Every structure is written in C-alpha cells, then in structure tokens.
Structure 1
Amino acid sequence: MNERQFKLDELVLHALESGVGQSRVIVALHGWLDNAATFNEMRQHFDDYHFIALDLMGHGYTDHRPASMPYYIWDNVSDVLAIIDQLGLEKVTLLGHSMGASIATLFAGAFPERVEKLFLIEGLAPLVYEAAELPVLMADAITKRSKMKAKKLRPYPNKESAIDVRMSGRWPVNRQAAEWLIDRGLKQTPEGYIWRSDRGLMLPSLLRMSESQVGAFLQAITVPVRLYLGDTGIYDDLWGERVKLISDVEIVRLQGNHHLHLESAAARSIAEDIKNSH
C-alpha cells in the first residue's frame, strides 16, 4: 500500500493506494468516523486492481474542513468528483461502506455518466429529516452544537485502551481490524492519545435531505448496484422501500455485522463477488 495525496483547493485529502497501473480502478469510501484502513482486509483480494481507499474530509490523515463549515454528506460528492478528475478517469467503480455507501449513491445519482458500477456494504442512502420536523430538529441541533463545542476530549492513556474501545463498540471488530483503524485514526498528544477525526463530525446535522429528495437520487442511478448486508447489520424496513427505487439492484446477504467487510470470510466473499460482477 502507498500513501497518496489529492489537493482539493486549500485542503489535502489522503488515501491508501495499491495496484497502481492496473486498468481496473476501484475508489473506496469508508464509513462515519472510520478511515481508509477499513478496506485493508478486502484490499488483499484485489491485486489486479488499482484500489484507492480515501480518508474522507475530517477523517484519518485528511485535513479538516474549516471550523465554520458543517459536515454535510453532499459535500463529499464534490470531493469524489475532484479526485476522479485528478485521476484522469472518465468512469469509475465505487465501493462504499455505511456513510461511504450513501456518498457513493448520491454521486451515482448526480453523475451517472461517471460511474461504471456501484458496490455498497451495509449502506444505501443518507439519513433524512422529515420536512414537518425540520424546524424542531434544526433548533435541537443548534443547541447541541453550542454545548458540544465547549466539551473537551478525554484522551486515552495508551493505544491499547483505544484498541479495546474500538473492539467493543456498538458494532464490534476483531483485533486486527481495530489495530488498522487505530493506527490511522489516532494521534499522540502530551495528554495522551486522541482521535485524528474532526470533532465537528460528531455534531448533529442542522439540515438533512428529505426522503423524497433521497428517492430522486436513487431513481437517477443508471448502473448495476450490488448491496451487501450482514445478517446482524443495520437493514430495516425503510431500506426495502428505497431498494425498490433503484432500476438494477441485487442484494447479497452474508454472515457478519455492520462491519462485515473487516471479517476475513465476508471480505473474501464480497471481493470475489465484485470481481465476478466487474
């Protein structure tokens, strides 16, 4: 794996890259508060691909957005377009996990001519705010933002304690996966170890799309979509309604939780399925 940087105006976006020179290209987008290392397990099965896993804005080694700029999911669509242009690609295959899958979906709906295929892991489209609830939700988000900005991070005394926390989260991962994510996501300070990710990512959104707006993006997708779901993942009834809006989609169910792509068996199955579908 090689480190790569992309300059996006005044900000620098970092990525992990392998298989440079291969004709087939995959751009991989990680989930919320993860980083490019989340694809380390899967990457091992793509020796004959140019595989580029991004640290999205505010995550991993990538720069943080300006303090005055909220983290809206659609801003990542602009970042992905800029990166694809810098790579000199007319079309690209997108692979996304969770939040990264939502970004990939928005991109494929907005720029269908730039996407060859779409592979989604435990994610389909962004969270929404219903229009009637928006005033109350916005007020609540503004209040919470004001309170959260005053809070200080509590550092970890050592890496081992951070690894233990990452292994035992809501969606547990194995030790190797936790070490990969920690190595890229943690930094040392005089007080201890803290996350590199921007604290702004933890703030509630002032604004989200409505369900009808999300539906318009799903209906605009023109490429084949494969959605990989863990048997103990986050699929719910709303997903079923959203899936119906995509013209060409197939669901593949595998054993695993929300981070099934970090488990060796599921990661291998997903990689082989992608290569057979590509």
Structure 2
Amino acid sequence: MNLGHIGREQTLDVNGNHFALRTWGNESDPPVLALHGWLDNAASFERIAPLLRDCFVVAPDLAGHGRSQHRRADSGYYLWEHADDMNALVECLGWKRFGVLGHSMGSGVASILAAMNRSIDTLVFIDGMGAPFTVEEGNTVEHMRKAQRLLRLALRARLHGFSGPEEVQFRSLEMAINERRSGAGASLSVEGARLLVMRDLINLGHGYRWRHDPRLVLPEPLQLSERQACEFLQQINCPLHLLLGHQGLFAGSAFDKRKHALPPHTQVQWHEGGHHFHLDAPAPALIEQLNQALGRGESGPQQRLVNE
C-alpha cells in the first residue's frame, strides 16, 4: 500500500483554537480541504480520501466536533465562524490554490468560504447544497428566543450531554453507535457510524461519553435565511460539482427548492444511497467522479449540467 494513502493525525492552532486534522496523501500534491457535516468529524472521509489520486487531503474536525477544541461559552458554532476558521487554516498551511470537498453542513461552510477566499479551484458537495439549516423570513426574533430557551433548559436539566465530565452517557460502544445511527435517520451503516463514533467518544473506563460540544445539538440563535443561503451559492464562480444521494436529503422537493440558486456551471450527479453514501459504501463510480471533479480523473467530466 502507498504510505501516502494511510491516514495520519495532525494538530494545528488556528484563530486561538486547537484543531485536530486527519490527512491523506503527499504534501507535495495539490491540496484538498475536506469539510464534514453536522455532528460528524474527519472520519467522514476515511473511506474515500485514500482513493483520491494525486491529492493531499486535509480533513479537520470543525470546532466543537470530534477531537477539536470546543468554543468558549460566549461564542457559538455559526457557519460563518467555521468558514473563517477554515480560511485561517488554509493560510496557516500556506496553500495558494486548493480544492474543497464538503459533505452536508460542510457544503454550507464551503459556500461561505468561497466568498472569503478566491483561491478555490473547484468545489465538490456530497449530499449538500449549501447551508442546511435556515430560518424563515420574518421568524428571526422568535427563532432566537426559542434557541435561548432551549439552551437554558438544557443547562438546568443537564440534557443533551450538559452533565459532568465524568458522567457516563453510554455503557457500551454499541449503545453509542446505535444512538448515532438513530440520529442519522437509521440510513447510516453500522460500520460508517462506528468510524464516526470512535473519533467522537471519550472512554471513561466505566463507560463512554461524547467528545463533541453538547451545544451542537441545539439550534444557533442566529441562522441564515433561505435567501441568504441561496445568495452564497449564487456567488460561487469556480466549478461546482454536486454528488447527491437518491435516498439522501435532497431527494424530491428539497433539490427543487435550491436548484434555482445553483450557478449555471454547476454539474450534478445522483448516486444510490442515503445521506452518508460516501461513507457507507463508496462505489467505484463515485471515486472516479470525485477524481474527475478534483481534476484527477482518467477521463473528462461526465456529469450533466444542472440547467440542461
């Protein structure tokens, strides 16, 4: 096996926070920033990253996720904060040009990053079409009130992991895997869930608890509106590739809701599988399309234009 294809651990201090990174490939190859989804972590790319040809893949655990540092109590986990972190991370790594691979929420972070940084060669979204969570127009105030109420309730009742650092949440690894799968609508495979869970658990000796910040399960007080989410998609001026699951989040009307906001150069391909089809059972066709989209394919891109 090519040693460059074996995942490696790295840490980096960015914007005053400690980030854990998972990397694959040779640092001399063209870089790709891989951004995971909500409540996931860098293990989301464990099965596809080693198969990307001639790429140096860097997958950070976003702030509050996986093994990365939690934000301070007076800060939050807004998409634009994640994007600012990633912009600073790229600067720390010294990248001049790079590609971005984003899954789910990672595509929302990537859409904002594309507005901050014009050095992106290509964007590839896996079952994502920008910001996944939006607030309805005219509902900003009520949404903020509800988010604050939920946070206070969770703190008082010690819900959602707001408990002592030594308090067990799961007696066994299997219990944690089952909860992670139920949170993904049971579409996530056991082995896929195991990869994500193993990077997100603390072993207390007598049981386990999540590493991630429990605030992640609560809605942010301020969210983008649907119009704003679409605006970030519309401003993308580099090649944009969408790889979506037939049983994923955008099957049916959800795709139609965002389709109008996609830049005219967007290319779309549908794949069999659910929201984590890239982690559950990545098919050879998916790997080839990823390599093509990142400019590493053996043949030209074969995706269809979204407006054809």
Deviation at 1:182, TM superposition (A): 1.6
Quick one: which amino acid aligns to residue 116 of structure 1?
A: D
State the partner residue of 2:169: 155
For structure 1, the 5+ residue unaligned runs are: none
* TM-superposition CA deviations, 1:148-203 (whole Å, max 9, x none): 12224361002122123334541432232222112111112265201110011112
Q: Distance between the aligned counterparts of 2:181 and 2:138, measured in 1?
A: 39
CA contact (8 A) 1:22 1:50 kept: yes
Aligned with residue 289 of structure 2, among 269, 273, 276: 273
Instruction: Find 1:2's aligned residue among 8, 11, 24.
Output: 8
- Unaligned 5+ runs, structure 2: 1-6, 162-167, 296-308
Q: What's the CA shift for 1:238?
A: 4.8
Q: 1:193 to 1:81 in 2, by over 3 A?
A: same
The match for 2:277 is 260
**Aligned match for 1:196, one of 211, 214, 219:** 211
Query: Which residue of 2 is the match for residue 122 of structure 1?
Result: 127
Aligned 1:1-278 pairs, distance under 5 A: 1-111=7-117, 113-126=118-131, 127-150=133-156, 151-152=158-159, 153=161, 155-168=169-182, 169-189=184-204, 192-235=207-250, 236-245=252-261, 246-266=263-283, 268-277=284-293, 278=295
1:124 is displaced (CA, Å) by 1.2
Contact 2:25 2:50 in 1 (8 A): no
For 2:77, give the aligned amino acid: Y
Aligned 8 A contact 1:110 1:217 in 2: no
Return the offset for 1:227.
0.7
Paired residues of 1:59 and 1:198 also in contact (CA < 8 A): yes
Q: TM-score, normalised by structure 2?
A: 0.84
Percent identical among aligned pairs is: 30
Q: Match of 2:258, as an amino acid?
A: R
What TM-score do the two structures reach when normalised by structure 1? 0.93
Shift in alpha-carbon separation, 1:189–1:138, aligned structure 2, 3 A:
same
Which letter maps to 1:261?
A: H
* 1:142 to partner: Cα distance: 1.2
Work out the number of aligned pairs and report it.
276
